[in-house]
Structure 1
């Protein structure tokens, strides 16, 4: 075709880097098939009848508020006049209350959007800035849906290890120096480890991010309303950032609603793309959330204390049996183990269904996730006994 071979080679490199094609030496190159969307959901435990399920990751239904009254009041608002095409996308009172809460937590000022949950926000922000083949730094262990979403968008992942205070600064620095263009961080109630970014860790992470100010920063605060640790946001350390606060854990997953703020370019792009798709998140749902907020339907300190007692009780019971565990916030406890498959199987045989860590990790060592949201105090001892027995005899165990 008369094209310079160097141009052809460069084009193939771009296509390969963007994840469009894959090369196989002498067998040539081929267009990659669409990324799998089934994700890690297949890595789960079937819970037989009579087995106690502590694997789900769901909040305690008893701590969720009833929704019927809030929706009835929302539907009747404005004399029940319907919301039509062309109306504003964000309920004004929701924007006011959300902004007040963000201001109180030190999140920088920025425009607001309303999206259908945390993962919807993460997807929209990534697509607003990145192209297939770009690399995203993700927590490891981290939320399995995020670990699935990034490659499903044609993006690459690089893992950043996590401890109880959040992502490790050196790991983040290495990821950014290797070319990662974005970072996704869970500020509190990190799934699956329960990590919460501390003040000292936030300062260290902001320092790393300022040195790479072109990084797209996405912060997930889905733990708002169920945690008793302060927020230490990283927002503002880079030019482009997004901060999302979901109502799912405190008010119920079926609300499918979250508030997103960020720099003007990012939020404008999200809003613009949203207009071309769903248009807006139901204003009735937005009004219902406003009513729940205004009525104090969730006693956040009491909910956080309840989850804290359940986490602390299990962690203490495990420690008494020489088993190290993690969980400084949220509704999950992470237990490092030497062999996930064996431990999960032994626990199932003993009457306990836990989540295998493979759903939540890339290169991090093995572990299991235990959801404590409905765990009763008298269950701590039997569950800790079963975990210790599944791990086998030995001195205090800490697999890192």
Structure 2
């Protein structure tokens, strides 16, 4: 700084202020005595470029999609919503949230112990997370994220000019000591997946929720975002963290249960957070289609999805693979959801060998920051007949399981 001040002929305090502004806006990173460096330009494609191309004839277990056979037909629900729309056209100035959607959603949230708060609707879970982060944080702020965690969240944070602060997870969710270290290190926000964590299948247990609440209670200024995208396809109870901090948001998507093309997520939170999200939304898209909201209401009221049966189907497929892998000496994780996470010594080699054997799985690099190598297998369409051959191929491709944890 002194050299630059002398070269430019300005006061050193001016240079220090410039560095501080660049750091706050996310342009540079500072590393103490190691100096400063310009941050990489946020990628728009991000981890999607790690996606595996699946050749013809190879079984695709890499996509992360739900089983189409377990998704409900949508035509009837949209036809009913469209018929109402013909009678009562939605015009500018209409309320952005359908009253019946809000009533049913609030009742479900109350039943799960989510604190009372205003409710709005976003275009999917990631849209909700982005809007909440943008409502509170400024470039350069740190966001504690699960590692391994959802690749699009890991891309979104730097794309907003924010810093990712990795927090290790195990089968019961984020590790309390790692979260505490992240918050004491200056992270301003934390994103937690309640259940069906992607890629590990972690689900926050009652004991883990108590421990995490205790950590958050010591940092009441933290922005807390909870993602419950697994609602409807998971048979483990919800243990919410919401309400411990001053600013919080709880997000519940319908994509996994009713279909990824239903770009709708419910968002509740404290008054300030929801008001800021609504205000910014009014300046952009305005609202999420009332036609879609009313179609979702119809799906709910018609009982279009047998939630317990869907959750049981995914659990059976997941546990069957985990057991088959254990019989072959391979450790795997998948407490809930549609994926199984398998630590491996050589991630690239394991993916390549499995592809050669006819199985496409996802490389763990799409989901990791500093956690050890692994592969992710989506079990949503995995049949009983395929399980043993797949487990044998994974054992041959991965070699001995690493002795260390996946965190």
TM-score, normalized by length of structure 1?
0.95
C-alpha RMSD of matched pairs (Å)? 1.9
Select which of 358, 362, 365 maps to 1:351. Answer: 358
User: Which of 3, 19, 22 matches 1:15?
Assistant: 22
Assess, with a 3 A threshold, how the Cα gap between structure 1 residues 4 and 231 changes in structure 2: closer, same or farther. Answer: same
SS of aligned partner of 1:254 = coil
Contact 2:143 2:189 in 1 (8 A): yes
Is contact 2:85-2:291 (8 Å) kept? no
The match for 1:189 among 184, 187, 196 is 196
The alpha carbon displacement at 1:12 in A equals 1.9
Could you say which residue in structure 1 is the equivalent of 2:373?
A: 366
Number of paired residues?
Answer: 396
* 1:56 is the counterpart of 2:63: yes
Q: Which position in structure 2 is the counterpart of 1:132?
A: 139
By how many angstroms is 1:29 displaced? 9.1
Cα deviation for residue 35 of structure 1 reads: 1.9
Hey, what's the Cα distance between the residues in 2 that align with 1:149 and 1:110? 26
* Aligned structure 1 segments of 4 or more residues deviating by more than 6 angstroms: 28-33
Which residue of 2 is the match for residue 80 of structure 1?
Answer: 87
Provide closer, same or farther for how the CA distance between residues 30 and 306 of structure 1 changes in structure 2, counting only shifts above 3 A: closer
Q: Matches of 1:258 and 1:172 in 2, distance apart?
A: 26
Q: Does structure 1 conserve the Cα–Cα contact (< 8 Å) formed by 2:345 and 2:402?
A: no
Paired residue secondary structure (2:187) = coil
Q: Do the aligned residues in 2 keep the contact of 1:311 with 1:332 (CA within 8 Å)?
A: yes
Say whether 1:256 aligns with 2:263.
Answer: yes
Q: Does 1:390 align with 2:397?
A: yes
Give the Cα–Cα distance (whole angstroms) in 1 for the partners of residues 111 and 380 of structure 2. 27
Partners of 2:100 and 2:10 lie apart in 1 by 59
Counterparts of 1:259-298 in structure 2 under 5 Å? Answer: 259-298=266-305
Distance 1:276 1:205 in 2: 35
Aligned partners of 1:308 and 1:67: how far apart in 2? 25
| Structure 1 residues 167-215: Cα deviation after superposition (integer angstroms, max 9, x where no partner) | 0000000000000000000000000000000000000000000000000
Tell me the distance in 1 between the aligned counterparts of 2:188 and 2:68: 38
**What stretches of structure 2 of length at least 5 have no aligned partner?**
1-7
Residue 271 of structure 1: CA displacement? 0.1
Q: Is the 8 A contact 2:314 2:338 kept in 1?
A: yes
1:1-400 matches, cutoff 5 A? 4-21=11-28, 34-77=41-84, 80-392=87-399, 394=400, 398-400=403-405
Distance 1:29 1:335, change over 3 A: closer
Change (3 A) 1:206 1:36: same
Secondary structure, aligned partner of 1:11: helix
Cα deviation for residue 81 of structure 1 reads: 2.4
Distance 1:380 1:79 in 2: 49
Go from structure 1 to structure 2 and tell me whether the alpha carbon gap of 1:86 and 1:188 turns closer, same or farther (over 3 Å shift): same
Counterpart Cα distance in 2 of 1:370 and 1:32: 32
CA shift, 1:134, in A, is 0.3
Instruction: Label 1:312 to 1:32 Cα distance change in 2 as closer, same or farther (>3 A).
Output: closer
CA distance in 2, matches of 1:283, 1:63: 25
In structure 2, what is the Cα distance between the partners aligned to 1:101 and 1:316? 33
Q: Deviation per CA, 1:97-121, whole angstroms, max 9, x where unpaired?
A: 0000000000000000100000000
In 1, distance between residues paired with 2:336 and 2:324? 17
Q: 1:207 to 1:30 in 2, by over 3 A?
A: closer
CA distance in 1, matches of 2:40, 2:197: 32
Distance 2:18 2:46 in 1: 30
In structure 1, the residue corresponding to 2:130 is in which secondary structure? helix
The CA distance in 2 between the partners of 1:116 and 1:93, in whole Å, is: 18
User: Do 1:194 and 1:331's aligned partners in 2 also have CA atoms closer than 8 Å?
Assistant: yes
SS state of the match for residue 371, structure 2? coil
In the alignment, the residues of structure 1 paired with residue 30 and residue 183 of structure 2 have an alpha-carbon distance, to the nearest angstrom, of: 26
Residue 41 and residue 10 in structure 1: after superposition, are their counterparts in 2 closer, same or farther (change >3 A)? same
Distance of 2:346 and 2:97 partners within structure 1: 48
Q: Do the aligned partners of residues 238 and 297 (structure 1) sit closer, same or farther apart at CA in structure 2, a change above 3 Å counting? A: same
